[in-house]
């Protein structure tokens, strides 16, 4: 039997609030998704003005980051024609996202969830995803 740790509801809310605070700060309304360590959705929030397409993209980024235990922008760097990783972006019906903005959430070196942001540039999405993690790590009990 394996024993593992997983974000709870309060953890997920910390991630969302940290990310949404940063998104408000930079003036970009976002879709924010948080999943558990298996990639299943724990919390989701569309800020006023967040894009409809981003509802799915944010979830896919969070899913990928948690379930593959890798930031989506790292997949992006490897997923170039001629690299053997190329094509991973169409796996799982395209649900495996290689667009920047999905980060695994680690506690004590273990992936306990994932966060995905979408609606800004990938750089803005990544920045806000990281802000969510920073807030979570500093505030969690």
Q: Which tokens in the block code for residue 101?
A: 């903005």
Residues whose CB is less than 8 angstroms from the CB of residue 2 and which lie 6 or more positions away in sequence, other chains included? none
With binding defined as CB under 8 A, does residue 60 bind a copy of itself? yes
With binding defined as CB under 8 A, does residue 137 bind a copy of itself? no
For 116, what's the count of Cα atoms within 13 Å in the CB-facing half-sphere?
Answer: 38
With binding defined as CB under 8 A, does residue 17 bind a copy of itself? no
Instruction: Rule CB under 8 A: choose which of 27, 84, 109, 138 binds a copy of itself.
Output: 84
Instruction: Rule CB under 8 A: choose which of 15, 73, 104, 116 binds a copy of itself.
Output: 73
Instruction: Rule CB under 8 A: choose which of 18, 28, 39, 127 binds a copy of itself.
Output: 39
Angle at 34 between CA 78 and CA 85, to 5 degrees: 15
Measure the CA–CA gap between 100 and 77, rounded to whole angstroms: 10
For a copy of itself, give the closer residue by CB, 43 or 131.
Answer: 43
Answer left, alpha or beta for residue 30, where phi above 0 means left and psi between -120 and 50 means alpha: beta
Instruction: Rule CB under 8 A: choose which of 17, 22, 36, 128 binds a copy of itself.
Output: 36
CB-count exposure of residue 71 (10 Å: 0-12, 13-18, 19+): buried
With binding defined as CB under 8 A, does residue 23 bind a copy of itself? no
With binding defined as CB under 8 A, does residue 80 bind a copy of itself? yes
Residues that bind a copy of itself (CB under 8 A): 1-9, 11-12, 36, 38-48, 51-57, 60, 64, 66-69, 73, 75-77, 79-82, 84-94, 96-100, 107, 112, 121-123, 126, 140
């Amino acid at each position: 039997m394996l024993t593992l740790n997983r974000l709870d509801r309060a953890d997920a809310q910390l991630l969302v609030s940290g990310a949404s605070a940063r998104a408000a700060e930079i003036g970009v309304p976002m879709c924010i998704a948080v999943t558990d360590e298996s990639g299943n959705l724990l919390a989701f929030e569309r800020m006023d003005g967040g894009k409809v397409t981003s509802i799915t993209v944010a979830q896919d980024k969070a899913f990928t980051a948690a379930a593959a235990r890798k930031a989506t922008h790292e997949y992006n760097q490897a997923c170039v024609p001629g690299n053997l990783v190329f094509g991973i972006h169409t796996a799982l019906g395209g649900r495996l996202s290689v667009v920047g903005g999905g980060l695994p959430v680690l506690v004590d070196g273990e992936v306990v969830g994932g966060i995905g942001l979408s609606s800004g540039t990938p750089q803005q999405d990544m920045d806000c995803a990281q802000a969510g993690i920073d807030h979570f790590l500093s505030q969690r009990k």
